[in-house]
Amino acid sequence: MVQLGVNIDHVATVRQARRTYEPDPVWAAVEAQLGGADGITVHLREDRRHIQDQDVNRLSDLVHIKLNLEMAATPEMVGIACDVAPQMAMLVPEGRAEITTEGGLDVLSDRSRLAEVIKQLEDSGIMTSVFIDAREDQIQAAAEIGARVCEVHTGPYAEAFHEHGRGVESPAIDAELEKVARAGALIRSLGMGFNAGHALNYANVGPIAALEGVSELHIGHSIVSRAMFLGIREAVSEMKQVILRSQTD
Torsion angle of alpha carbons 40, 94, 136, 209, nearest 10°? Answer: 30
| Tally of domains in the chain | 1
Rg (CA), the chain: 17
Q: What is the pLDDT of residue 95?
A: 65
pLDDT reported for residue 230 = 85
Tell me, rounded to whole angstroms, the distance of Cα 199 from its chain centroid.
10
Q: Which residues of the chain have pLDDT under 50?
A: none
pLDDT, position 77: 97
SS3 assignment, position 7: strand
CB 33 within 8 Å of CB 46: no
What's residue 91's pLDDT? 98
**Does residue 43 have an active-site annotation?**
yes
pTM of structure: 0.91
Instruction: Say what angle helices 53-62 and 75-84 make with each other, to 10 degrees.
Output: 30
Q: Is the dihedral of CA 162, 102, 181, 175 positive or negative?
A: positive
Q: Which of 10, 31, 50, 70 is catalytic?
A: 70
pLDDT tens for each residue of 37-93: 999 999 999 999 999 999 999 999 999 999 999 999 999 999 999 999 999 999 999
- pLDDT (tens digit per residue) in 14-25: 999 999 999 999
Residues in the chain: 249
Which CATH number goes with the domain that contains 48?
A: 3.20.20.70
Backbone angles phi, psi at 197, to 5 degrees: 175, 165
Task: Decide: 41 and 5 in contact? Cβ < 8 Å.
Answer: yes
- The active-site residue, picked from 10, 31, 43, 218, is 43
Residue 150, pLDDT score? 98
Judge whether 198 counts as a catalytic residue: yes
Residue 132 DSSP code: E
The mean pLDDT value of the chain amounts to: 94
Strands (E), the chain: 3-7, 39-43, 66-71, 88-91, 127-132, 149-153, 193-197, 216-219
Catalytic one among 10, 153, 198, 218?
A: 198
What pLDDT shows up at residue 99?
53
- Determine the pLDDT at residue 166: 72
Q: 53 is in which domain, residue-wise?
A: 3-248
DSSP calls for 59-74: HHHH--SEEEEEE-SS
Active site residue 238: no
